[in-house]
Amino acid sequence: MDLHDRIYVAGHRGLVGSALVRGLAADGADNLLFRGHDELDLTNQAAVDAFFSSQHPDYVFLCAAHVGGIHANDAYPGEFIRDNLAIQTNVIHSAWKHGTKKLLFLGSSCIYPKLAPQPLREDALLTGPLEQTNEAYAIAKIAGLKMCQAYRRQYGFDAIVAMPTNLYGPGDSYHPENSHVVPALIRRFHEAKLAGAPEVVIWGTGRPLRELMHVDDLADALRLLMHHYSDPAMINIGSGQEISIADLASLIAEIVGYRGTLRFDPSKPDGTPRKRLDTSRLEALGWRSQTTLEMGLRETYEAYAAHRP
C-alpha cells in the first residue's frame, strides 16, 4: 500500500475505523477519504456506486458495519442481517467495479461454530452450528468473506479478509442496552459508583471466556496486512489474552473504583462459551499484540471518564 494513494476507511467514526485513521495518519498517509453516514448511506447501492465512481479510492478498509452486543444481536436480527449484507455487498462490488487496487474486509470471531475446538483455527469455519444469539450477524459476515473470495477467484480482485477477536478501546459505543461487554461494564460500574448503588447485575453466569484486544493493536495488524498479505484465506487477529466474564467484571470494577456487590443473572444468555483465536498464521508474519489487558482497560476507562459526568 502506497501511503500517498487514496485510502478510504469505511466506518471511520466507529471503534475500528477511528483507530485505523489514527494509525494511518501516524504512518504518514496523506490522502485519506472519509464519509459519515449523514454524507453516504452505505446501504444505498446507487449512492455507494456514485461515491466510488467519483473518488476512485486505491485502497479500502471495510470497517463499517451494524454492530452491537449480545442483547442487540438477539433482539434485532433482521436489522443485523439486512444492513450488513447491504453495506458489504455495495462496497465490495463498487470497489471492484471502479478499480480499487486492494480491499480489506473486517469479519468477526462470531462466524465460528459455537462449539468449535479451541483455539479457533481459520479452517473451523462452517464446521458446525453458530451461536443462536448472533446468528444473523455471523451469517452476514460469512457472506461478506465468501464474496471477497468469489471476487478474487472470478475477477482477480485483491480482496483480503481479517477476522478479529473481541475488541475494546476509545471510540466504542457505550449504549446502555446495545453495547459490547467491556463498554457495557465500564458504563454500569461508573454510573453505579456515582449513584452509590449497592450492587450491579451482570447478564449470564460469568463463566464464559473471552479473548480481548485493544483496538489500536487491531489497527496495527490491519495496516500490516494491507501492506504484506494477499491470500484468499481469511486470517485471524487476536491477543491471546483470555479472561472469564466474572474476572473481567471484577477487574473493571476495580479499575473504575466501584466497591459494591457483583451479582450474576443466570436467567440471561451467556453467548458462546469460549472464543479464543488461533493466530499462528498472523504471528508467522511477525505480528503480536502489544497492549496488556489491564493497561488497555485503564486507558479506556480514563478516556470514558474524561467525557462523562
Binding residues: 11-17, 106-109, 141, 164-167, 180, 188, 203, 210, 270
Going by the DSSP 8-state scheme, the letter that residue 131 receives in this structure is P
Q: With 0-12 CB in 10 A as exposed, 13-18 as middle and 19+ as buried, what is 168? A: buried
Q: How far apart are CA 123 and CA 247, in angstroms?
A: 30
- 194 to 180, 187, 219, 260, 264: CA distances (angstroms): 21, 11, 33, 12, 21
Contact 7, 57 (CB under 8 A): yes
The span from the CA of 152 to the CA of 156, in Å, is: 4
86 HSE (CA, 13 A, CB side) = 15
| Residues 192 and 200 sit within 8 Å (Cβ to Cβ) | yes
Dihedral-angle region of residue 131 (phi above 0 means left; psi in -120 to 50 means alpha; beta otherwise)? beta
Q: Residues forming the annotated binding site for NADP(+)?
A: 11-17, 106-109, 141, 164-167, 180
Binding site members for substrate: 188, 203, 210, 270
| Cα gap 187→164, rounded to integer Å | 24
Angle subtended at Cα 302 by Cα 297 and Cα 308, rounded to the nearest 5 degrees: 125
- Measured CA to CA, the distance from residue 78 to residue 281 in angstroms comes to 34
Catalytic residue among 137, 151, 168, 258: 137
Active-site residue 174, yes or no?
A: no
Catalytic positions, please? 137
